[in-house]
Amino acid sequence: MSAAAKRDSVVNQSDNAVDLRADPATRVGQVDWPTVMEEVNAYGFALTPQLLSPAECKSISGLYDEA
């Protein structure tokens, strides 16, 4: 399998959306972690579905000090 085909396979598997209305711990629990582990072992990386809303990302980024 070519590198591009491997990448496309991993990207397509990351499309399994989680319910962003659920609390973050529930969202993490909705991820297919065995598949993520297989992808890391096979390709050295894995993509997860979106776990945070844009507002949550902005809030978290505010926790970092400005350097």
d(CA 17, CA 8): 17
Query: Domain range holding 9?
Result: 3-61
d(CA 44, CA 31): 18
The 10s digit of each residue's pLDDT in 22-65 is 999 999 999 999 999 999 999 999 999 999 999 999 998 988 87
The total of structural domains in the chain comes to: 1
Residue 67 lies in a domain: no
Residue 66 lies in a domain: no
State whether residue 7 is helix, strand or coil: helix
Is-above-0.75 flag for pTM? no
